[in-house]
Amino acid sequence: MNDTTMKPSVLLIDDDPDDLFFLTEAFQQVDDNYSYVEAYDGEAALTLLKDMKSRNEQPALIVLDINMPILSGTELLTIFKDNPDYYNIPVVVFTTSSSALDRQYCRQYQVELITKPQSHKGLYAVAKYMLRYCQPGVVPSKAAS
């Protein structure tokens, strides 16, 4: 595949393999015009981003869980928003957390926090909503979940 036919990518970062599987499946069903890249922890995500940068690529969107080992989602969010290599990449925090502190932390960086839905139907709706962040200049209104 050459550079002109490469699909833009969405980076999904979550330490739960089942959550990643179902989220990737939902994204693929909603829009197969993207490639979906998975990382199971923050260090793996940073390695993927560095590899992408070396190929002059970056994801169209980063979907980030909060509660992860090695580097938490909040630590990664700080890295993304404080590093000029990453701060222009749209980020959505996608988590089971209902913590007011997590919401406040995300607001500090003007990043939306979406709570993981309990149904497949809800997951597809959220995936469709999150992909709107991939469109330059589009800031979606609040998620349906």
User: Where are the chain's structural domains?
Assistant: 3-134
pTM of the model: 0.88
What sign does the dihedral 120-121-126-132 (CA atoms) show? positive
Residue 14 clears pLDDT 90, i.e. is over it:
yes
Q: How much is the pLDDT for 70? A: 87
pLDDT in tens, 107-145: 999 999 999 998 889 999 999 999 999 876 555 555 443
Residue 82 clears pLDDT 70, i.e. is over it:
yes
Mean pLDDT, range 8-28, rounded to an integer: 94
Q: Distance between CA 71 and CA 30 in Å, rounded? A: 29
Q: Distance between CA 56 and CA 89 in Å, rounded? A: 14
- Single out the residue of 73, 79, 140, 126 nearest to residue 102, CA to CA: 73
pLDDT in tens, 56-79: 999 999 999 999 988 999 999 999
To the nearest whole number, what is the mean pLDDT of the chain? 88
Q: How much is the pLDDT for 3? A: 45
Q: How much is the pLDDT for 38? A: 95
**CATH architecture of the domain formed by 3-134:** 3-Layer(aba) Sandwich (3.40)
Residue 4 clears pLDDT 50, i.e. is over it:
no
CB distance 94 to 114 below 8 Å: yes
Residue 44 clears pLDDT 60, i.e. is over it:
yes
